[in-house]
Structure 1
Amino acid sequence: MINTRKNSSKYSICAILLMALMLLTSDLLANYHYHKTFDNSLTAFQDTARFRVARDTIPGLKDSLVNTTDTFGLKISKDSLDAPIQYEAADSMAFDIPNKRVILYSKGKITYKDIVLTADSISLEQSTSIITAKYRRDSLGNIIGRPNMIQGETDMTSDLIRYNIKTQKGITTNTFTTQQELFLNMQNSKKVSENEYFARIGRMTTCNLDTPHFAFIANRMKLVNKKLAVTGPVHPEFEGVPIPIYLPFGFFPLSSGRHSGLLAPQFTTSEQFGLGLEGLGSYKVINDYFDVTLRTNLYSYGGYNIYVTPTYRKRYRYTGSLNLAYQSTRILTTDAKSEFQTSKTFNVGWNHSMDNRARPGTNFGASVNAGSTKFNQFVANNPTRNFANQLSSSITYSKTFGTIGNLSLSANHSQNNNTRLINVSLPNAAFTLNTFYPFQKKEFVGEPKWYEKLGIGLNSNIANQLSFYDSAFSFRRIIDTIQWGAMHSVPIQMSLPPLGPLQIAPGISYQEKWYSRKLLRTWNDTRKKIDTAFDKGFYTSRDISFSLGLNTAIFGLFDRFGKNSRVAAIRHVIRPSASISYKPDLARKDYYNQQIDSTGRQYRFSYFEGTVFGPFGEGEFGGISFGVDNNIEAKVRSKTDTSAGSVRKVRLLDGFGFNGSYNFLADSFQLSPLTFYARSTLFEIINITGGATLDPYGYDDKGFRTSRYSWQGDKFSVGNISSANLAISATFQSKKKDESKKKQDQAVADANLPQQTMEEQMLQLEYVRQNPAEFVDFEVPWSVSLSYSLSYSRQFRPDYSGFRSEIFSSLNATGDFSLTPKWKLGMSGYYDFKSAKIQSLTTFITREMHCWQLSINVTPIGLYRSFNITLNPKSGLLRDLRVNRTRYFYGT
């Protein structure tokens, strides 16, 4: 029985294996589809005939119970956010699903639109869209992960932030933020809209330290982002100590760009004007292209000044400004007859420049500085203006006509405040015809002929001029002084092929001048002086000259200095030039002899002296003009670098030489005065420029020239110096702590430095004088600048009795040095050698106080003396918040 069971089990196992083998080797599709034939799955070759088996012919029907959903028609809840929220954390994130809250631990970050929030711990409540950010402290009590939120350009750091990202409202605790130059700290703040905040206990400062040197404290404050901050009662504190000086409210502008507003004044005291309030005014923005500044000065003696300055600008078109000033001066005098001296003066300034891209080929510019001759004398606390005796103006319009030529129209003005003489020249016109070559071929083929290089040009100038004195102004006298003139010049030149090293340039020049009056001088025996008179009319004078110019260059090199010498070579370049010319005496009729003293001495005058273009030179000239120019350079090796590229060029003499002429046709005074000049830069520090005119003829006892050479007398002399000038300037300073930073700062300053007019330069110099601390470089421990000038001239005496010599010599010195890294002393002075007196001396002391600056300016010597003590913040936002003490003194 047992064997029977064993046999039945074996049979069962074999049957199961056999059925499995049959299933693996059969076509499984036969179980589902009907086949007429069966493919042999064990065939060695693939069947070439394929039979298409028909599937179920009954089509399947859609289930009518299936629901379809239109995804574009889904309704979104009004409470949902309109942008995704991205969040991350360095440690972990916890999801509180029942309360719909996400908690980020360690360096949590949430980004939503333009909001980026980071903190050590951040909690996001999805149901209310409220984010809560906190920090934590480590075992040592240090703060880790202080919450920081950046939205657009606003960056805020707080101890606690609760913010609704949907409504953009929230509250913060101990918040720090920056608005322009202002650093804000709000103990408790509430954001009510995208750009508005309300705060309780707010601190405002321009000091960037964690513990600021000063701040303004207010219990209530409203902040409009990037626009303004308004507070209730506000008081300052210094070094954490509150100062019991309260203001009823505070207004802090935070927006950038131009904005209308009031201009704060400063108090001053002057012996001449009394107590004063200077700089009070307003600034008004009219539109994007135009604004106006109004300032007034008020003084206790009754004087006042009004300054109106409109400015206008249009990008890529033009820019300009207008300065209108009116002075009603009432100053204290020492005159026994009158206690006060009164005067009314004015000044007009206009600067206009046109962009070259606005109208190519056309340009218009103006630089006007005109007014009463006594205006600068009564400007308070401005020595730069007080000593400015020359005023000038220019208005020009120019037009280029392609390759033909150009036209220029101008109006000019000059005045001397000492003599009170005013000269006005308008309108002036100048037309220049570009050089054209009449024999030149239209098509350049081969080498041009010599006559094809013949060029002809034309220059025409017309000018009108009038002169009058400010003290004797009247329209009748102005009409009497009006004169006009014209000058035409036709240059004809040719460039011939060089003869070896010689360059040959022949030329012809024709000039003609038109005059509207003659100057007549007659000797008055009764008064023993010369009387002058003008004869109006139309007069002409002409001049023509022929010349042949020769010039070349000679090079010399000396390089035998040895291997150990730092000087590698010296090169000398000599450029001699000579010109043979002839000029007939066409202007003889324009000169006459006239008695000048009771002894009967005669002097030769011209009818056209004092005219617009002046007279031509008298006398026939047939001779040679000569000149020599020299240049000396050296190549110097570096002390440390021995490579070939370490050799640098050093200019020993930038230029020196002389020029003159000799007239073979003259009966006397054949040799002209010789002009010498020299210029050099020594050690790249000292600049030297000098020149002199040497007259080779002797003088008599009254200074008149004689026909004998100066070396033909009893005493040998090479000549008499008729004029000379010398200028030396140098700047010495210690090296900057960071030399690379100095070069970088200088490059940026040079790139951003615009071209300034004389009026703008005077204003800038005055601002530097009043605020030297803003321009002090504490990186340079010391610096000294020296400039010396000397001039000598011989002038004809007004009474024609002879000549007189005048010598002017002066020394300017400026310097400063740092006592400590925060203290600097400086001075600037002007010494006149003729009077042997210090004409002006100004000293200053400045203290760098991180966010504040202290400056003390004292001018103890000179006609205009003053002292000034100023303590003010560095920031431009609070620059007018200054403590100032100023007094002016006038007289010797």
Structure 2
Amino acid sequence: MTCQKTSHIFTKIVFKPLHTNLFNIVLLSFFLTLGCGNVYSQDTTKKKKATPASKQSDSLQTKPIDTIKIDSIKPKKAFLDGKVKYKAKDYAKIDQKRKLITLYNEAELYYQDVELKSGIIVLDYEKNEVYAGRLKDSAGVYTQYPNFKQGASAVEPDSIRFNFKTKKALIWNSRSEQGEFRIKASVTKKENDSVYFLKGARFTTAKDVDNPEYYFQTSKVKFIPGKKVITGLTNMVIADVPTPIALPFAYFPMTNEKSVSGIILPSYNDSNTRGFSLQNMGYYFALSDNYDLTVLGDYYTNGSYAMRFESAYAERYKYRGNVNIRFENLITSERGYPDYAKQNIYNIQWSHSKDTKSSPNSSFSASVNLGSSKYFKQSINQANIGSSLNNTLSSSVSYSKNFNTLPQIRTSLTATHSQNTQTEVINMTLPTLEASVDRIYPFLGKNGVKKGFIKNINFQYNLSGKNSIVTTDSLFFKPQMFNDAKIGARHSIPISTNFKLFKYFSATTSANYQEVWQTKTIERSYSAEQSKVVDKVVNGFDAYRTYSFSSSLGTTIYGTFNFGEDKKIKSIRHVMRPSVTYGYTPSFDKYYDTYAADATGTIIKQYSRFEGGIFGAPGSSNSNIVGFDLSNTFEAKVTDKDSTKTEPKKIMLLNNLNFSTSYNFNADGITSFAWQPVRVSGGTQLLNNKMNVNFGATLNPYAIDNSGRQINTFNIDNGGSLFRMTSANMTLNYSISNKEKNKKKTENKQSERNGGREDDLFGTNTDLNDQRKSQFDGSEEDDNAITEFFNAKLPWDMTLAYSLTYGNAARENKIIGNSIMVSANMDITPRWKGGVSTGYDFVQKGVTFTQIRFERDLLSWRMDFNWTPLGTNSNWNFFIGIKSGVLSDIKWNKRSTLNR
């Protein structure tokens, strides 16, 4: 039974208020409700304006309102919107009176996207709240800290209270990770999924947030996960000691992206020749997931400045590469002083590689290193000794395409650059076109077997076209550079065949036809006005044609000397590969003209109009040369030290021992000699293949006169030995290490890209743009580093190089070069690393390049020092800073100015 409100009752038809006896209705309602179990109420509709009496109908026709049909009260909702899963090791207690579920010891609760693990969990399903806390063990130590996860967010506090309905939470001593940051706060208030308020918080990139090496302490924080952290007064604390470094407010970017754009703070330095400076200031642009851009600059108070643009790009399964552009405007001293100088230097580097999977029939690659010849010697922002000692810069950009025709056609387009940093001469080809057609076997039978002289006859077609430019550093990319360009093309059709001779000999016979096209030739004559011979350039197409013949005969001879199965050295095997080659090229003197070499015209000389061309001029005399080569290898079988192995162990005694010479049938005995010097070369590996030994010598059969000039008389006929050793050399390279073999070396070292050495005999490259990178390979220590360090030998590595050169071309009989270089690195302690690179020149009697380096791993920090005490490149550099890229601007860097 329902009870209506004691108020006006509106009729359903005319909406006229009916006046009732209020007292009687109240009294009746009281008695009727005594036995009523459930009482429902109904709100009256909005009171409407009374209807005039003239328009009212008879009140007897009204119907009572059915209040049950329009009842607006909904059934009571369940206490949670989803299924709750829980478990505990000791017990799970349900208190229906207090609406509580208590889980004790290794408790776990799962509801929607919430995962909660803790020592104790109390769920109040009437208030939609959950509480989680720690437990004390028998020793009074807190254990089983709560682990709260909601979606991708995870928190490890001391205790937590969370409301499932409002999504709000209170967290005590929370510990969480956001990107590279680790955050700990005494009290955290979670407003919703995107906003947190923290009190008494610390931020750090250290691994242990409870005992960090450093942290930023702040009292009030607004934290938006994955986006940003905004704090009040923030103070930097190092080793639990507050520092004077404080900010009234701070902003920390938080993102899950791989890279974020931002400002790169500069480092301060001073120079005796250029004044004070700000170096490596700039901006990093995270343009997309596929490429980025770093812009850096230096400025000195005397007006010197430098700019650097660095970009890396990559697309999976397609390509990857990087571009570095450097420019420096160098001013030395002050205007008006005698040592004042001003110059511009630059360097451009580009590396590109294409994934073969993207297009199997074509490829594109680039390796560019060009610029000013003196860049690596005079740069104010490069400490790269290996690159500064390099005398050559080279570049290559190439594209190749294969056409799957029958026969297959291969094409390539290449631009090359070679620059001598000493003479500043630059050689370029822009571009080089190479094309070839695969070998065609015109006499090949239907069965496809290539056997015999006739069936092995084959020919192919090759095309080589070049646009060659020779210029200097000062004229690079100026109009005059292109005016002196030379264009030419060479067509060649080689015909060859191979066959067996007397069963044991392999014979090869070939002939080659060439045709060379040029767009420029010369006309040589004597100029009376200039009193010298001059060359006049003749523009226009011209060509010459040549042909040649060659053949070779070779075999392989095996010899084994057995010492006996009971001997330590069981046998030695000697493999010889002798070969004889013959080549003949006729004279093409028809392409030669004569010119007068003096004013009288009495001295007449020959010249070819094709001289100075890309592919040279044809020979004026025939060439009739036979060559002799002999290569040897020596192996031995010895008893293996491992007694469990039954087979003897094979070791290499000499990887190669080669002898080569040739005989010229057309030698005149004055300008050319019949026998060429015998060249001897060899190499082997010792000490378990850790030492490479290479040697070589030149043996001349002819004697020399008192002035040191070679004469057409054999040395043995002149009272000497059979051969006269004119030069010899030997090099030793030894690398040894007790570190793990699978430890990877630093890839793409800048010193190697600049043309320096792969090893660190000339010291390590110092990247002044980002000194968070270690000088040492594998410098990062794992959690077990200290344990492994003291359970094993000290990790170390050493590289040694020795070079000896002997010269006796004109009876000088002396050591031209004799030097040794060594580089060693060692882990002094689990966190200390040291290294040295040095050497000694026994001829010059002085110490060669020397570098001393140290590094200290300060966990989340890194300290680095290197010193080059001697020579023109003497300098020192000290750095200490945070490893994390997020806080890479928190650093202190001090270095001396390079003596350049």
Sort the TM-score into its range (normalised by shorter chain).
0.7 to 0.9
Equivalent residue in structure 1 for 2:488, among 472, 485, 489: 485
1:788 match: 802
Task: State the Cα distance separating 1:182 from its structure 2 match.
Answer: 2.5
Output the CA distance in 1 between the equivalents of 2:188 and 2:597. Answer: 95
2:741 match: 743
**Offset from partner CA, 1:505-533 (integer Å, 9 cap, x none):** 222223343445567999999999x8664
2:703 match: 698
**Offset from partner CA, 1:224-279 (integer Å, 9 cap, x none):** 33444332222222332222321233333443402111112222223333222111
1:856 match: 865
Structure 2's unaligned 5+ residue stretches are 1-73, 759-763, 782-788
SS at match of 2:219: strand
1:60 match: none
**Offset from partner CA, 1:452-473 (integer Å, 9 cap, x none):** 2211012221112122223467
1:240 match: 240
Task: State the Cα distance separating 1:653 from its structure 2 match.
Answer: 1.5
2:459 match: 456
1:553 match: 556
1:650-669 pair list within 5 angstroms: 650-668=651-669, 669=673
- Cα distance change on mapping 1:159 and 1:755 into 2, 3 Å: closer
Contact 2:450 2:456 in 1 (8 A): no
- Cα distance change on mapping 1:870 and 1:346 into 2, 3 Å: closer
2:715 match: 710
1:188 match: 187
SS at match of 1:103: strand
Contact 1:838 1:862 in 2 (8 A): no
Task: State the Cα distance separating 1:571 from its structure 2 match.
Answer: 2.3
1:219 match: 219
Deviates more, 1:252-261 or 1:679-688: 252-261
Deviates more, 1:858-867 or 1:305-314: 305-314
1:773-812 pair list within 5 angstroms: 773=775, 775=777, 780-789=794-803, 811-812=820-821
Contact 1:381 1:888 in 2 (8 A): no
1:374-773 pair list within 5 angstroms: 374-384=374-384, 385-402=387-404, 403-441=407-445, 443-444=446-447, 450-471=453-474, 477-497=480-500, 499-516=502-519, 533=535, 535-536=537-538, 540-563=543-566, 565=568, 567-586=569-588, 611-615=613-617, 619-622=621-624, 624-644=626-646, 647-668=648-669, 669-683=673-687, 684-700=689-705, 704-716=709-721, 718-719=723-724, 721=726, 725-733=729-737, 735-736=738-739, 742-746=740-744, 759=753, 766-767=765-766, 772-773=774-775
SS at match of 1:766: coil
- Cα distance change on mapping 1:321 and 1:848 into 2, 3 Å: closer
- Cα distance change on mapping 1:389 and 1:98 into 2, 3 Å: same
**Offset from partner CA, 1:90-135 (integer Å, 9 cap, x none):** 1111111122221111111011234321111101111222110011
- Cα distance change on mapping 1:488 and 1:812 into 2, 3 Å: farther
Output the CA distance in 2 between the equivalents of 1:325 and 1:344. Answer: 11
Contact 2:183 2:204 in 1 (8 A): yes
Output the CA distance in 2 between the equivalents of 1:489 and 1:400. Answer: 19
- Cα distance change on mapping 1:339 and 1:451 into 2, 3 Å: closer
Output the CA distance in 2 between the equivalents of 1:698 and 1:525. Answer: 43
Contact 2:181 2:204 in 1 (8 A): yes
Count of residue pairs the alignment pairs up: 794
- Cα distance change on mapping 1:447 and 1:183 into 2, 3 Å: closer
1:128-147 pair list within 5 angstroms: 128-147=127-146
**Offset from partner CA, 1:414-445 (integer Å, 9 cap, x none):** 2223322222221221111111111224x327
Structure 1's unaligned 5+ residue stretches are 1-74, 737-741, 797-802
TM-score, normalised by the number of residues in structure 1: 0.80
Amino acid at match of 1:438: P
Contact 1:271 1:889 in 2 (8 A): no
- Cα distance change on mapping 1:793 and 1:302 into 2, 3 Å: farther
Amino acid at match of 1:315: R
**Offset from partner CA, 1:616-669 (integer Å, 9 cap, x none):** 566434453221111122344442442236x54332211111122223454542
Output the CA distance in 1 between the equivalents of 2:513 and 2:751. Answer: 37
1:301 match: 302
- Bigger proportion of residues as helix: 1
Contact 1:591 1:618 in 2 (8 A): no
Task: State the Cα distance separating 1:554 from its structure 2 match.
Answer: 1.6
Matched, 1:120 2:122: no
SS at match of 2:286: strand
- Cα distance change on mapping 1:207 and 1:477 into 2, 3 Å: closer
SS at match of 2:247: coil
Task: State the Cα distance separating 1:837 from its structure 2 match.
Answer: 4.0
- Cα distance change on mapping 1:605 and 1:659 into 2, 3 Å: farther
Task: State the Cα distance separating 1:146 from its structure 2 match.
Answer: 1.4
2:849 match: 840
Task: State the Cα distance separating 1:479 from its structure 2 match.
Answer: 4.9
Task: State the Cα distance separating 1:406 from its structure 2 match.
Answer: 0.8
Deviates more, 1:177-186 or 1:775-784: 775-784
Task: State the Cα distance separating 1:159 from its structure 2 match.
Answer: 1.0
**Offset from partner CA, 1:752-798 (integer Å, 9 cap, x none):** x57999537769963469655553658654332122345689999xx
Amino acid at match of 1:423: N
Output the CA distance in 1 between the equivalents of 2:481 and 2:190. Answer: 71
Output the CA distance in 1 between the equivalents of 2:683 and 2:75. Answer: 85
- Cα distance change on mapping 1:473 and 1:774 into 2, 3 Å: closer
Deviates more, 1:249-258 or 1:627-636: 249-258
TM-score, normalised by the number of residues in structure 2: 0.79
Contact 1:323 1:348 in 2 (8 A): yes
CA RMSD of superposed structures (Å): 4.0
SS at match of 2:716: helix
Contact 1:866 1:886 in 2 (8 A): yes
2:35 match: none
Output the CA distance in 2 between the equivalents of 1:531 and 1:483. Answer: 22
Task: State the Cα distance separating 1:294 from its structure 2 match.
Answer: 0.8
Amino acid at match of 2:402: T
Output the CA distance in 1 between the equivalents of 2:244 and 2:887. Answer: 20
Output the CA distance in 1 between the equivalents of 2:558 and 2:298. Answer: 65
Output the CA distance in 2 between the equivalents of 1:815 and 1:82. Answer: 67
SS at match of 1:128: coil
Deviates more, 1:244-253 or 1:199-208: 244-253
